[in-house]
Structure 1
Amino acid sequence: MRNKQTWSLRKFLSVAVFLAVALASIAMAGFAYFAAQEAARFKFEATVDDAINRIEGRLDLHLSLLRATQALFDARQGEVSRAEFKSFFDALDIENNFKGLRGVGFLGLAKRGEEGAVERKIEAIHGVARPIHPESSEPWRTPVMLYEPLDPADPSGIGFDMFTEPARRSAIEMALENNAPRATSRIILGGEGASNQQVPGFLVFARVGKKVGAPVQQSDPYSNVVGLVYVAFRTGDLFQAALGSAPRLPVNAEVFDGTVSDDNLFYRTPAAPDPSYGEDFRITRNIVLAGRPWTIRFRPTEAFSEPSSPTIPVMLGLFGLLLAGAIALVARYQERAYTAVSRLHETTEKSLLEKDLMLQEMKHRIKNSITRVLAMARQTAAHAKDVEEFSTSFAARLQAMAASQDMLTRSRWQKADLGELLQIELGQVFGKELSDDMLLGPRVLLDETATQALGLTFHELATNALKYGEAGNSAAALKVRWEVRGKRSEKRLYLTWTESGNKAVGAPEKTGFGTKLIDMNITRELYGTIKRDYRVEGLVVRIEIPLSAMARKKK
């Protein structure tokens, strides 16, 4: 009897142990599956942050073009000829630098019934009468006076009154009232090429004013406004340029104007979403472009890879059922899995915080870059003799800034090599092939401020050498040498720029904007010194700057 009872107890204990371990195994499999899903969601949110950074960066770059165009027309108070505007447009190299841009234009501004003056200006610009159309009962007329790229075979867009279209009219009114760029809602734009396919897009307007201090008529609230500049974008090409660059992101993005609906759809990526991911992986973000709210929805595509394989939880459950007696091993695995998940969660939260800080820093840098571009555009326009000179100088300086920004971007905004910066900036002026002995010095890593300031400085020095020195005939006549002295926070860079040849160089009678830009970069931005020695055999420039950012802050 006792043996039978003991056997029954052992049988019950075996079943109890098996059930306990089986339940523990199933629980562990569920926990691992939940942890894998959480890790996948964190990874996808990080991918979405990257996509948002690309989109906002591309939009801010394109708005800088609107501000540059506004600066040109502000400097001329709207008096820009067709040839000058085309020269300005061609110098910007839209195809390579601003993909998604459909065109840039200028609108006149006149009260209804006073269109004659604007029509005469259009005829003077284009050499042919183009009446304002269509007829309108609105109080204001805003006809297109300049537009690029303009098809000579079909100039019908010249004279078109954008105030007659509700979406454009709303954005124009806000731009006039707030003196800030304002975007339209989703509109349909005519395509390009033989098919002339219509595509969704949007326009951004900014007003152009008269000189500061010009009298304002009480009866005319816009008497100090001469017109508006605008840029038109095809959203398909714009977002393809932002999201289609390498490395490609495994996201399906849908961009809506305002609320989510098919009528408000701006763009949808070609890659379809992976149906195996549920609503937990649908992430919605909101941004504001020129006063216009946008909604962007993201879903993962089949290219999205999870941090861990989804088969792991299944294998874990099977392993637990087969090894019902390995309670200690399962407990140990549970402890390790919990620790791993905790660390993963902690690491992911830290990564998200760092990405948020990086995003804020990037926005700050982009705003600073836009401010610098706008100031440089105004200064270049003020010193330029004509639009062609403005376009050439401004495009070259913008390209020099872009080269410095590209170096910093490739280094994740950490450090840029001085020798590489010189190679890029001088290569843009003299050609890609530089002599072996032109540049000589040790490896020096520059921070963000020094990279941007020295990039513009080298561009201006090289441009002056090409114009006025022997380097215009032979790049071998230029030598750049540098060295570093001091230790740690006392390190200083000593750079010597030597132009040699048979051509005597004298000090200029008038200081140009380029020279002022060099001096401001060295003395104000970097708290260094610059000395120019005009010799019979050529120009020698000596630059000395502290390499430590802390040393510059102390000054």
Structure 2
Amino acid sequence: MKKFFPIVAFIAVALISLTMAGFAYFATQEAARIKFAATADDALSRIESRIDLHLSLLRSTQALFDARNGDISRGEFKAFFSALDVDNNFAGLRGIGFLRLAKTGDEAAVERDILRDQGVAHAVYPATTQPWRTPVVLFEPMDPSNQASIGFDMFTEPVRRAAIEKAMADDQQHASGLIQLGQGTGAAQTFTGFLVFVRLNVETAPDVINATRASTAGFLYAAFRARDLFQVALSRAPLLPVNTEIYDGEVDAGNLLFQSETPPVSIFGDRLLVTRRLVVAGRQWTVLFRPTSAFSQPSSRAIPVMLGLFGLLLAGAIALVARFQERAYDAVSLLHETTEKSLLEKDLMLQEMKHRIKNSITRVLAIARQTASHATDVKEFSSSFSARLQAMAASQDMLTRSRWQKADLGDLLRIELGQVFGKELPEGILSGPEVLLDETTTQALGLTFHELATNALKYGEAGNSVGALKVDWSVEGRGHDRTLALNWRETGGKTLAAPAKTGFGTKLIDLNVTRELRGTIKRDFHADGLKVKIRIPLV
């Protein structure tokens, strides 16, 4: 578990930091959404205020007509309209007019009234199959571009007719759908806009139309240029960082009343899109608000990023500290373990040294006793005993160089034969694969090779030429069943016979191979020399 603690600590702190960064990010986004929603509501309030101001003008005009029972001349209507100072106070208002309500077929009476009020003859147009006529008889401002609107029957156009029919039913104001102002009247220029109608009742009228105490003489209406109206509403200081789209009814390109010139910021997409519903004179509009480049978020978007990066750095630092602590703990544990192991190894080495020294002394004493029992004088004893101690020392030296692990069989043979014959061994005397020997086998074979070489020097042809000696070996079997097969050959024409008496050297060889190494040895004396076959198990 300690091994994975730095990783677990890093993941835990990183997850906490990223979670906090995520909360900060969503809080930033929510704050931006709330701020922009408030800005959009401010923009909507400006639009509503401007529209209410314009509709109040229509109500004032209705009050004027009601006060005079609908009997308003063109001059009085013009004076009233001029006093309003529409250009400075009611931007976006194209004008106010009056529609005379008449049945189809009574156009001549309406045309006579128009001639009397306008001083110019205007025919009611266009032709219609509808049961009612609502031609324009009064309109202000009456500039040359609006002259063609006098006599235009709005009941013939479907969008206007739908609003007029609603105005027939009650005394409320009713807005039309999106229309092109001036269209159908022959005007040189048209504007996207809408109309608002309200019926005008009089005490007496030739034709009674669904009224309780009064008759509907016609309809007052106000015409609005959408772009001018909304631009004035939204241009009031301070300027709001919103892109506004206003649709008549549902959002559709064919229903677009107004769109701001300042484009929205694309980086926000529709994430900050605010949709509002607005009811104007009984008709519902859809208003969309999007932020522009002037919109500033209440908090920087870099804060969540910096918080996340700081959290990752903190997680990395904690993981590194935990890793260093883990390594320090491991180092202390390893040092403690190494110290205990070193002390244990020291004790084992001391015990092994005592055992090795004891065994070596025992072997030296045994060699000394056996050498002395077969020696004829002190000189012979000294020579034989010294040679055998050197063989033991050579084996010990090999084991010391290999740190008491393993000694190579070929190197052992070269050292022992070199000591006996006192010269460099020629090529081809020794042949065989690499075989590593343990301590016991190394010491036993070292003495065995020394005795065999000594006998070859004394009695065989090898005393005259080292080339008469051949030693080869191989390993038989695999794994724990391996056996070392070594062949010692002395050749050269000198006839050798089995000795009549077994000397100490022969006994030493047999003891080393059969008892020490649990192997077998076979000697073959023949006319051409001596063959010795040694087989010992390898551990």
Q: TM-score, normalised by structure 2?
A: 0.55
Instruction: Determine helix, strand or coil for the equivalent of 2:284.
Output: strand
**Contact 2:246–2:285 (Cα < 8 Å) also in 1:** yes
Deviation at 1:138, TM superposition (A): 1.1
Aligned-pair RMSD on alpha carbons? 2.1
Residue 13 of structure 1 is matched in structure 2 by 5
Residue 318 of structure 1 is matched in structure 2 by 309
Structure 1 residues 215 and 184, CA gap change in structure 2 (3 angstroms): closer
Residue 419 of structure 1 is matched in structure 2 by none
**Contact 2:13–2:315 (Cα < 8 Å) also in 1:** yes
Match of 2:25 among 20, 25, 33: 33
Residue 360 of structure 1 is matched in structure 2 by none
Residue 50 of structure 1 is matched in structure 2 by 42
Structure 1 residues 135 and 190, CA gap change in structure 2 (3 angstroms): closer
Deviation at 1:64, TM superposition (A): 0.3
Residue 347 of structure 2 is matched in structure 1 by none
Q: Distance in 1 between matches of 2:259 and 2:142?
A: 29
Deviation at 1:217, TM superposition (A): 6.2
Instruction: Determine helix, strand or coil for the equivalent of 2:95.
Output: strand
Deviation at 1:229, TM superposition (A): 0.8
Q: Distance in 1 between matches of 2:37 and 2:175?
A: 28
**Contact 2:149–2:182 (Cα < 8 Å) also in 1:** no
Q: Distance in 2 between matches of 1:200 and 1:33?
A: 42
Aligned length: 313
Deviation at 1:129, TM superposition (A): 1.3
Would you say 1:83 and 2:75 are equivalent positions?
Answer: yes
Q: Distance in 2 between matches of 1:215 and 1:135?
A: 24
Would you say 1:272 and 2:270 are equivalent positions?
Answer: no
Deviates more, 1:148-157 or 1:102-111: 148-157
Structure 1 residues 173 and 134, CA gap change in structure 2 (3 angstroms): same
Identical positions, percent: 57
1:334-354 CA-partner distances (Å, limit 9, x unpaired): xxxxxxxxxxxxxxxxxxxxx
**Contact 1:77–1:226 (Cα < 8 Å) also in 2:** no
Q: Distance in 1 between matches of 2:294 and 2:88?
A: 28
Deviation at 1:324, TM superposition (A): 3.1
Residue 289 of structure 1 is matched in structure 2 by 280
1:6-38 CA-partner distances (Å, limit 9, x unpaired): xx93x5333332222222222211111111111
Residue 16 of structure 2 is matched in structure 1 by 24
Residue 300 of structure 1 is matched in structure 2 by 291
1:359-399 CA-partner distances (Å, limit 9, x unpaired): xxxxxxxxxxxxxxxxxxxxxxxxxxxxxxxxxxxxxxxxx
Report the AA paired with residue 287 of structure 1.
L
Q: Distance in 2 between matches of 1:196 and 1:215?
A: 36
Instruction: Determine helix, strand or coil for the equivalent of 1:137.
Output: coil
Give runs of ≥4 in structure 1 deviating > 6 Å. Answer: 215-218
**Contact 2:124–2:135 (Cα < 8 Å) also in 1:** yes
Match of 1:95 among 87, 99, 121: 87
Q: Distance in 1 between matches of 2:58 and 2:205?
A: 26
Structure 1 residues 132 and 200, CA gap change in structure 2 (3 angstroms): same
Q: Distance in 1 between matches of 2:215 and 2:188?
A: 38
Residue 67 of structure 1 is matched in structure 2 by 59
Report the AA paired with residue 263 of structure 2.
A
**Contact 2:205–2:216 (Cα < 8 Å) also in 1:** no
Q: Distance in 1 between matches of 2:176 and 2:165?
A: 11
**Contact 1:108–1:118 (Cα < 8 Å) also in 2:** yes
Would you say 1:148 and 2:137 are equivalent positions?
Answer: no
Report the AA paired with residue 279 of structure 1.
D
Match of 2:177 among 185, 189, 204: 185
**Contact 1:258–1:293 (Cα < 8 Å) also in 2:** yes
Deviates more, 1:317-326 or 1:297-306: 317-326
Residue ranges of structure 2 left out of the alignment (5+ in a row): 319-539
Q: Distance in 1 between matches of 2:146 and 2:311?
A: 75
